[in-house]
Structure 1
Amino acid sequence: MNIDYGKDNKERIPYEHYLAEFRKLNPQEAAQRTGIPWHEETQEFEMHMMQKRFLIKWPECTIRKADPEEHGYGAMEDGIPPKIMVMRYLTRGVSSTGSGNFLTYREVPHGEVYFRQFQGRCMMRLAFGYGSNLSLFHAQMEKIGAKKLDMGDAAYEFEFLDKYFVRFILWAGDDEFPPSSQILFSDNFPLSFETEDLAVVGDISINTLKKI
């Protein structure tokens, strides 16, 4: 996967920082801590992101689909941000299972501080991208194998990373009110990710829907 720093230079420094951490990783320890399979013979981790399996090469963090015959766009093919998420999880994350409860962005630690940015960057983008076209939302969510929920006017749950789940909920707009949305995170997210990471989760997820 080629990285085009020219598109967004501000990603270069965090990318290089996490890549340096990733290179120092003990892959067997990371596999035990996160529950992510490690293939010693190929020196690769095997992870899911948005219903598809990918292989992450250590120590260079190149990424390929686990099934070379699989067609269609995958979330880890979205440039630098997914690679940073993967490296952050493998270097700092833990295997965990949510209790079944979901959190709003405001409910995660320090979420109130960053909520306005998250609202504009993710919630409004989701609402105005699909609130007037629920049929497209249904079609794209079903393409990634998301689970339909009886919430709002349209809602789905999907596994973003192994055991870490996200819910997208939409309310359609009308003549009086604009469309709106809610994004929920399984309550194990704060065990492995910082609050700012959740905006990247939203970005990657919405980008993937638009590109599939």
Structure 2
Amino acid sequence: MDFPYEKDSKERLPYEHYIKIYQSMKPEDMASRANIPYDAEKRLFTIRLMGVTYQVSWPEYEARHLDREDIGYYPLEDAANARILVLRYLTEGAAAPATGKFLTYREIPWGEVYFKQFQGRCIFRLAFGFGNKLEKFKEIMDNIGAAPISNGDAGYEFEFLNDLYLRFLLWEGDEEFPPSAQILFSDNFPLAFVQGEDMAVVGDVSIGVLKAMSK
């Protein structure tokens, strides 16, 4: 992926750093540690992200979606934050089974330290983006294959990345109170992404998909 402008250095420099690590590692080792299917003959990982299946090449790191032509937005192909996030998972993260428990951002390592940033960047964005558009929110969540849950005025559980799950909960605003939201992470996330910043990017990417699909 090209970052031709200096203004993109915030994403270009991490991308260049992690792509070098990715290309230097054995893909079989990454596949085993992250529990991501890998076809050694074709040199392709198979990755699910927000309801879409992608093939991702090694060592080039080119992504191509295989399904869901109706969605029209494929962040693993051209969104820098999603591409860097998946690079970090493949090169640093580890897969573990979820127990069924979900964590708030405050409950993950370093989450208390970065909560204010996460609240503004993700929770408020979800609340004010969809808190007064519950029907549109439900339509989009149904479209990505999310499962409705009983929490909130509208709540859904969905797979963000292979075997890593999120819950988005919304409470509708009214004349007296603004809309509110909560984002919960399956308890295997802290092994998959070791930094609090990564979890904020998870929120960025997932809400970005919802925003793109709402247009």
Category of TM-score, reference length = shorter chain? over 0.9
User: 122-131 or 29-38: which moved more?
Assistant: 29-38
Q: Does 1:76 align with 2:76?
A: yes
> Which residue is 2:130 aligned to?
130
Considering only aligned residues, what root-mean-square deviation do their CA atoms show, in Å?
1.5
Distance 1:31 1:77 in 2: 19
> Which residue is 1:155 aligned to?
155
> Which residue is 2:66 aligned to?
66
2:184 alignment partner, SS class: strand
Identity %: 51
Letter in 1 for 2:147: K
> Which residue is 1:49 aligned to?
49
> Which residue is 2:113 aligned to?
113
Q: What is the CA-CA distance between 1:4 and the residue it aligns to?
A: 4.3
User: 90-99 or 125-134: which moved more?
Assistant: 90-99
1:8 alignment partner, SS class: helix
Q: What is the CA-CA distance between 1:5 and the residue it aligns to?
A: 4.8
| TM, length-normalised to structure 2 | 0.93
Distance 1:209 1:8 in 2: 23
Distance 1:74 1:64 in 2: 9
Cα distance, 1:44–1:167 mapped onto 2, change above 3 Å: same
Consecutive unaligned residues in structure 1, runs of 5 or more: none
Q: What is the CA-CA distance between 1:100 and the residue it aligns to?
A: 0.4
Distance 2:32 2:63 in 1: 21
Letter in 2 for 1:142: D
Cα distance, 1:167–1:65 mapped onto 2, change above 3 Å: same
Consecutive unaligned residues in structure 2, runs of 5 or more: none
Runs (4+) of structure 1 exceeding 6 A deviation are none
Letter in 2 for 1:58: W
Q: Deviations over 1:176-200 (max 9, x none)?
A: 1100100000011001202110110
1:177 alignment partner, SS class: coil
Letter in 1 for 2:158: F
1:118 alignment partner, SS class: helix
CA contact (8 A) 2:62 2:77 kept: no
CA contact (8 A) 1:3 1:79 kept: no
> Which residue is 1:104 aligned to?
104
Cα distance, 1:146–1:127 mapped onto 2, change above 3 Å: same
Distance 2:48 2:77 in 1: 12
> Which residue is 2:200 aligned to?
199
1:47 alignment partner, SS class: strand
Q: Deviations over 1:115-173 (max 9, x none)?
A: 00000000000000001110110011111111111011001011011110001000111
Q: What is the CA-CA distance between 1:29 and the residue it aligns to?
A: 1.3
Distance 2:96 2:168 in 1: 21
User: 47-56 or 72-81: which moved more?
Assistant: 72-81
CA contact (8 A) 1:75 1:205 kept: no
| TM, length-normalised to structure 1 | 0.94
2:56 alignment partner, SS class: strand
